Structure 1
Amino acid sequence: MSSPVLAQLDYCASRFIAKRRSTREVMVGNIGIGGHHPIRVQSMTTTNTQDVDATVKQTLALAEAGCEIVRITAPNKKAAEALGEISKKLRAAKCEVPLVADIHFLPSAAMEAAKHVEKVRINPGNYADKKKFAVQEYSDSAYEEELERLHEAFSPIVLRCKELGRAMRIGTNHGSLSDRIMNRYGDSPLGMVESALEFIRIAESHDYQDICLSLKASNPKVMIEAYRLAVARMKQEGMDYPLHLGVTEAGDGEDARVKSAIGIGTLLNDGLGDTIRVSLTEDPIYEVPVARDLAHKAMTLWNAQADSQLGEPLKDSIDPFDFRRRETRTIELGPDCSIGGESLPAVIVKTAHPVGETAAIIQDVCIVQTKFKDSKIEGLQVEIQTAVDLEPFRGLHEALHSVVKAFVLELGVGIDLSELEAYEWPDGLAGIILLQSVSREDSFYAQSLLQFCRGKGFNLALDCSAEALREEIGPRLQAMGSANLILSTAGCSKRPQADTRQSNDHSIAACGGSAHPLGQYRALAEATRDTIADAPIWIRNTTGNTLAPKNYYADRLLEASVISGGLLCDGIGDLISVETEPMLDKATALAYNILQGAKARISKTEFVACPSCGRTLFDLQSVTQKIRARTDHLKGVTIAIMGCIVNGPGEMADADFGYVGGAPGKINLYVGKECVKYNVASAEALDRLIDLIKEHGKWVEPS
């Protein structure tokens, strides 16, 4: 929980316009980070560093794929020495990609690695600091003594990097905070930040400032809060170091891409971030295109909004350093389904079929219901363009009323109030939601529509800009109350023409053809405070609020994850729909994955899996798939799969159970942060893990 003092800190120019944070330039070999440079894409080799040829081959493949900086682990002095040969072979092959040595426990390895690479990564929690998870109260004098010891231990590598012209990344991990930090600040974003600042201050005492900063966690909420707080604290101390962004231990497949997009994309939309890595438990070459897509979207957004006028700052009631869900009233959609209030965010799916194709819609919904037995969609969204389209709705509703809890009728421009009133609505429609996009000029129509919905017992979803709600629509509806009103702001901003006008209203700042969607929704949430404070907010992912619509799934996945995930991590959002994906099963899966990635709604097993490196003691990719195949039906259970314990059991802070490489061919099993079984033979480890889950009452047989 953040303090009132922290809540008052600024971490970005505006949460409503994406203004890039200004930082110093840090050169990593021939690649510049921060300053005026574009966002740089990084990855990490997974080979044994002492296998020089394999590491060179993988580095070349990463560079060919577009990776601009490559990190290689140096767990000991022998591996650090191998970096020299790796660098020579790469340069001989005309590959100038800068190399980063990943250092954790051994200062001697760091001192050797600095001779051969362009950058050294130091983890403050592991580098010459104590991490035995001891509970101890540090007096101020004892704490100062520890800092003096750190100064003595850390100074040699600082001076070596300064002498050789090497850059440094001070990379804090949520799971590897030292005992000293844990006992003073707790296992918190504040602890992560203070741990990094201690090392930065030591470096600055030697007039060394070629530093990049990272604060990674497997939980996107923790990671987002830590980076925001780091920037705010650096501003207090006059620091302007660039940021390396990443969600660590994100896992594999769609889940990992969603989780990474939520964490990295949210911060990029805040204007934060200068270099990024998407960590996947896959071949590292697959990390590069995801990172490049996220970087491209952010640079497009920043460049388009570079000249947008900030105007008078909008007030912002959200504490960006402490997650609190926005309070709303509850709207009942049926006997066992509600939205807002204490209810988990609902999933609405938009059918791509015309409403008249009743059979096709029924078939699609049945397929979705078969695939998602424990995560049924709460609502089906169908588009009504003319009064003629209303008639097939009657049969559709009767066919699906027991499967779908709410019907959302998206009203087109051809529907007016008289047509709605003349239609003979079938019985049992308490869960119907009428969705209509309205502008400031439509305020009277919005009032009439709300009155109509009240009379019929319907709910109304209005899609409007924050400006329209604040100035015209909200005041007109305020006296009527919001008992059945839902708000969104997805289709309200039309794409501007080439002569885009500038506006001082942050909520409608133009962005290369679409407004800044996170900023729009944040502004909408603020506008409700002055008018309809307790109305639930529906996060709609549409072609109207996407930054760069493309006709392939990966782009839709990243776009929806950034918009929806970023808002959910801000505490905004009571309904979610991915309307850019025409396949109902894919749209449903993506919506639930986003909710799970943002820790807003758990619908399946959560896997925390590291991306592998030269320290890994087993084949992470195949083992992760085997564990997933046996356990992915355990809703609400979190399993950590770690190649080694380099980042400490604290990296599994959110995990119920851990499967961790302890030695070659041996696995250590954890319950929470406690290791309960040591050196289990790898052939037996998965069965023993399942035994542990059963012992703790969290096992159910797969259906």
Structure 2
Amino acid sequence: MDLFNYSRRETSEVNIGATPMGGSNPIRIQSMTNTATQDTEACAAQAKQIVDAGGEYVRLTAQGIKEAENLMNINAALRQDGYMVPLVADIHFNPKVADVAAQYVEKVRINPGNYVDAARTFKHLEYTDEEYAQELQKIRDRFVPFLNICKENYTAIRIGVNHGSLSDRIMSRYGDTPEGMVESCMEFLRICVEENFTDVVISIKASNTVVMVKTVRLLAAVMEKEGMHFPLHLGVTEAGDGEDGRIKSALGIGALLSDGLGDTIRVSLSEAPEAEIPVARKLVDYIMQHQNHPYIPGVEAEDFNYLSPSRRETAAVRNIGGEHLPVVIAERMDGKFETNPQFTPDYIYAGRALPEVREQGVEYILDADVWQGEVGTYPAFNYEQLPLMGSCQADLKFLFMPYMAQTEEVIACLKHHPEVVIVSQSNHPNRLGEHRALVHQLMKEGLKNPVVFFQHYMENEAEDLQIKSAADMGALIFDGLCDGIFLFNQGSLSHAVVDATAFGILQAGRVRTSKTEFISCPGCGRTLFDLQSTIARVKAATSHLKGLKIGIMGCIVNGPGEMADADYGYVGAGRGKVSLYKKKECIEKNIPEEEAVEKLIELIKANGDYTENNL
């Protein structure tokens, strides 16, 4: 693939009702109902809301045979009112349910982690090669009859791998790794190919954006190697709600879309299903602006590993680069300093004049031609001011530079000035490609200057800034190229919103933590409590606990698996009942819902991870 110039991955077309996916079709948008699947009226009403918002597929959970059979009534209710949207059944644990659902919907999603393998228990299992082959034969024996039903009914399938529900069999042989997630998928895909079943879509999801991006990249490479071109469904599971859910989804999904991967997306928000659609639409539309852009003559550095990147080696300049966390630079050229103390920038670009009152603990950046060498301030040069740089004695200098200005003169200057931090700029339609090209050129020249990415916007809505900036930064963070971020917004948004977005992007990319991380699912027909109000209560009680990860899951499907990535977990266990986890260990079962948040706080306190909120 070309790291610098956008082109969409070529895939086969999959027939899903009257809305095909892949091939030359547009990237499709979808969501999932959270109503009980036996409630025909409620499911049909919510499906209509999703379609009216712009959704092109609607997924419903089917826990058992009764729910699967009622998909026929839901389908009929929608068709009767002129809604021809393809329906997708979501199946876990019971392959018989998939057999039934395939007769009534346009697509069935199965989870390789629990289709034939037993539910995950985190036990290590030992298999000889012969025993392992026997387990694969069990999958084939059960899966092929299902494929035959799908063939008879013209039903497509999605092989949907979730990081949170890998089987003990896969975990025991491959560990909790991207390779294990990919193999879990490929076991089923190879059977589809052998059986000449081509209406297949694939997804590999995780709440950890790093795992999700790395695994989908690897899956695409493995499929290419084996001559497969199936379309991809993208999503970040348990992304959460509000700005966190939008930033995390745009970061992970956007990074892959920017590289041409993905044929349908679902933005999983812990909100009303129809609220997911406009977010997904904005993300896809923004990435599609990369199409047919002017050519970027970037050259990939030889030691860069796209499938398993590590952080680029840089020489630290004060607290930027080296082993330091990525910094946040913000602008305050209006002289105003308004921010949340939790999201105080490391550096403030003040332009040509310092504010009358300076914020304690913050360093300032001034244009080089007005910089006076005051303590706590540093000069900013543009690439046309290189002659001034040699006479400047500052131990930290910022050089604002676009990729195409990286001339032999500039490179020679940088080799003599390791104290320079480069601020990469781009006005290109595919700014990601130019930012990447600049850093790869530095790598090819053996330069170790840190790089901060300057991202310029003119947004008036917080959601728009969150989606666009996260999508632009995703691949740069996952590639290991980011030593800092500088969001510059000339719209009407407050400085506080812009700062929080910058810190949110770094946290979503798992490179800098500034607040509590909430891993919460979007809810579905399996959810047995009011997810949105529960999330609000948990956040109110714990959002000041910087550095903790707290999972809030509607049911057991991904619960324990995602709990392994969280410090504490709150998982629906039955109607009005909740179980509490510390990592992947269940500490207390079947707590009444009305007591569960208080019990969660007690659990956090008992483990010494709770501090009072003094704000």
TM-score interval w.r.t. the shorter chain?
Answer: over 0.9
Give 3-state SS (helix, strand or coil) of 1:251's partner. coil
Tell me if structure 2 keeps the 8 A contact 1:658–1:672.
yes
Q: CA deviation at 1:312?
A: 8.6
Structure 2: which amino acid aligns with 1:428? V
- Counterpart in the other structure of 2:612: 701
- Counterpart in the other structure of 2:379: 433
Q: CA deviation at 1:300?
A: 2.2
Q: CA deviation at 1:487?
A: 1.1
Q: CA deviation at 1:490?
A: 1.4
Tell me if structure 2 keeps the 8 A contact 1:433–1:458.
no
Which whole-Å CA distance do the structure 1 matches of 2:207 and 2:517 have between them?
11
Tell me if structure 1 keeps the 8 A contact 2:283–2:471.
no
Structure 1: which amino acid aligns with 2:315? R
Structure 1: which amino acid aligns with 2:153? L
- Of the three residues 303, 309, 317, the one matched with 1:317 is 303
- Counterpart in the other structure of 1:562: 471
Structure 2 matches for 1:361-372, cutoff 5 A?
361=335, 364-365=336-337, 367-368=338-339, 371-372=340-341
- Counterpart in the other structure of 2:127: 138
The structure that has the greater radius of gyration is: 1
- Counterpart in the other structure of 1:498: none
Cα RMSD over matched residues? 1.8
- Counterpart in the other structure of 1:617: 528
Structure 2 matches for 1:338-353, cutoff 5 A?
338-353=319-334
Structure 2: which amino acid aligns with 1:267? L
Which whole-Å CA distance do the structure 2 matches of 1:211 and 1:240 have between them?
10
Which whole-Å CA distance do the structure 1 matches of 2:374 and 2:195 have between them?
77
Q: CA deviation at 1:410?
A: 4.4
What TM-score, normalized by structure 2, do the two folds share? 0.96
Which whole-Å CA distance do the structure 2 matches of 1:199 and 1:587 have between them?
44
Which whole-Å CA distance do the structure 2 matches of 1:352 and 1:267 have between them?
35
- Of the three residues 518, 521, 532, the one matched with 1:607 is 518
Q: CA deviation at 1:459?
A: 2.7
Q: CA deviation at 1:552?
A: 2.8
Q: CA deviation at 1:470?
A: 5.4
Q: CA deviation at 1:433?
A: 3.3
- Counterpart in the other structure of 1:537: 451
Structure 2 matches for 1:202-213, cutoff 5 A?
202-213=191-202
Which whole-Å CA distance do the structure 2 matches of 1:316 and 1:261 have between them?
29
Give 3-state SS (helix, strand or coil) of 2:221's partner. helix
Structure 2: which amino acid aligns with 1:408? I
- Counterpart in the other structure of 2:365: 408
Tell me if structure 2 keeps the 8 A contact 1:474–1:532.
no
Which whole-Å CA distance do the structure 2 matches of 1:424 and 1:162 have between them?
72
Give 3-state SS (helix, strand or coil) of 1:271's partner. coil
Which whole-Å CA distance do the structure 2 matches of 1:312 and 1:342 have between them?
27
- Counterpart in the other structure of 2:574: 663
Tell me if structure 1 keeps the 8 A contact 2:553–2:559.
no
Q: Does 1:187 align with 2:189?
A: no
CA deviation string 1:93-136 (max 9, x = no partner) = 00011000001111111111111100000100010113332212
- Counterpart in the other structure of 1:382: 350
Mean Cα deviation higher: 575-584 or 42-51: 575-584
Which whole-Å CA distance do the structure 1 matches of 2:297 and 2:161 have between them?
36
- Counterpart in the other structure of 1:553: 462
Which whole-Å CA distance do the structure 2 matches of 1:316 and 1:620 have between them?
48
Structure 2: which amino acid aligns with 1:329? A
Structure 2 matches for 1:104-503, cutoff 5 A?
104-130=92-118, 131-302=120-291, 304-305=292-293, 314-315=300-301, 317-332=303-318, 338-353=319-334, 361=335, 364-365=336-337, 367-368=338-339, 371-372=340-341, 374-384=342-352, 392-393=353-354, 396=355, 399-400=357-358, 403-410=360-367, 420=369, 425=372, 427-429=374-376, 431-436=377-382, 438=383, 442=384, 445-446=385-386, 448-453=387-392, 455=393, 457=394, 459-469=396-406, 471-478=408-415, 480-482=416-418, 484-491=419-426, 493=427
Tell me if structure 1 keeps the 8 A contact 2:381–2:389.
no
Tell me if structure 2 keeps the 8 A contact 1:380–1:404.
no
Give 3-state SS (helix, strand or coil) of 2:379's partner. strand
- Unaligned runs of 5+ residues in structure 2 are none
Q: CA deviation at 1:352?
A: 4.8
Tell me if structure 2 keeps the 8 A contact 1:467–1:527.
no
Which whole-Å CA distance do the structure 1 matches of 2:54 and 2:516 have between them?
33
What TM-score, normalized by structure 1, do the two folds share? 0.84
Q: Does 1:528 align with 2:442?
A: yes
Per the alignment, do residues 410 and 516 of structure 1 end up closer, same or farther by CA in structure 2, a change over 3 Å counting? Answer: farther
Q: CA deviation at 1:203?
A: 1.6
Q: CA deviation at 1:22?
A: 0.3
Tell me if structure 1 keeps the 8 A contact 2:164–2:561.
yes
Structure 1: which amino acid aligns with 2:443? R
Mean Cα deviation higher: 608-617 or 646-655: 646-655
Which whole-Å CA distance do the structure 2 matches of 1:220 and 1:120 have between them?
25
Give 3-state SS (helix, strand or coil) of 2:470's partner. helix
Give 3-state SS (helix, strand or coil) of 2:30's partner. strand
Q: CA deviation at 1:87?
A: 0.4
Per the alignment, do residues 200 and 573 of structure 1 end up closer, same or farther by CA in structure 2, a change over 3 Å counting? Answer: same
Q: CA deviation at 1:426?
A: 5.6
Per the alignment, do residues 520 and 129 of structure 1 end up closer, same or farther by CA in structure 2, a change over 3 Å counting? Answer: same
CA deviation string 1:361-405 (max 9, x = no partner) = 2xx32x31xx22x44211111223xxxxxxx43xx3x731x5253
Tell me if structure 1 keeps the 8 A contact 2:34–2:273.
yes
Which whole-Å CA distance do the structure 2 matches of 1:38 and 1:614 have between them?
29
Give 3-state SS (helix, strand or coil) of 2:349's partner. strand
Which whole-Å CA distance do the structure 2 matches of 1:204 and 1:107 have between them?
20
Which whole-Å CA distance do the structure 1 matches of 2:144 and 2:332 have between them?
61
Q: CA deviation at 1:540?
A: 1.2
Tell me if structure 2 keeps the 8 A contact 1:379–1:404.
no
Which whole-Å CA distance do the structure 2 matches of 1:468 and 1:563 have between them?
21
Which whole-Å CA distance do the structure 2 matches of 1:435 and 1:553 have between them?
30
Q: Does 1:650 align with 2:561?
A: yes
Which whole-Å CA distance do the structure 1 matches of 2:381 and 2:513 have between them?
27
Give 3-state SS (helix, strand or coil) of 1:31's partner. coil
CA deviation string 1:441-500 (max 9, x = no partner) = x4xx42x232132x2x2532223233432544102432x131x20113214x4xxxxxxx
Which whole-Å CA distance do the structure 1 matches of 2:285 and 2:3 have between them?
20
CA deviation string 1:218-266 (max 9, x = no partner) = 0111000010000000011000000000000001000010000000000
Tell me if structure 1 keeps the 8 A contact 2:107–2:156.
yes
Give 3-state SS (helix, strand or coil) of 1:215's partner. strand
Tell me if structure 2 keeps the 8 A contact 1:345–1:573.
yes
Q: CA deviation at 1:89?
A: 0.7
Q: CA deviation at 1:654?
A: 1.4
Give 3-state SS (helix, strand or coil) of 1:542's partner. strand
Identity %: 43
Mean Cα deviation higher: 460-469 or 580-589: 460-469
Q: CA deviation at 1:309?
A: 5.7
Tell me if structure 2 keeps the 8 A contact 1:667–1:681.
yes
Per the alignment, do residues 316 and 350 of structure 1 end up closer, same or farther by CA in structure 2, a change over 3 Å counting? Answer: farther
Q: Does 1:101 align with 2:36?
A: no
Tell me if structure 2 keeps the 8 A contact 1:470–1:531.
no
CA deviation string 1:490-520 (max 9, x = no partner) = 14x4xxxxxxxxxxxxxxxxxxxx2422222
Mean Cα deviation higher: 468-477 or 246-255: 468-477
Give 3-state SS (helix, strand or coil) of 1:339's partner. coil
Q: CA deviation at 1:167?
A: 0.7
Structure 1: which amino acid aligns with 2:148? L
Which whole-Å CA distance do the structure 1 matches of 2:21 and 2:145 have between them?
24
- Counterpart in the other structure of 1:86: 74
Give 3-state SS (helix, strand or coil) of 1:461's partner. strand
Give 3-state SS (helix, strand or coil) of 2:348's partner. strand
Per the alignment, do residues 160 and 234 of structure 1 end up closer, same or farther by CA in structure 2, a change over 3 Å counting? Answer: same
- Of the three residues 2, 14, 19, the one matched with 2:2 is 14
- Unaligned runs of 5+ residues in structure 1 are 1-12, 333-337, 354-360, 385-391, 412-419, 494-513, 544-548
- Counterpart in the other structure of 1:596: 507
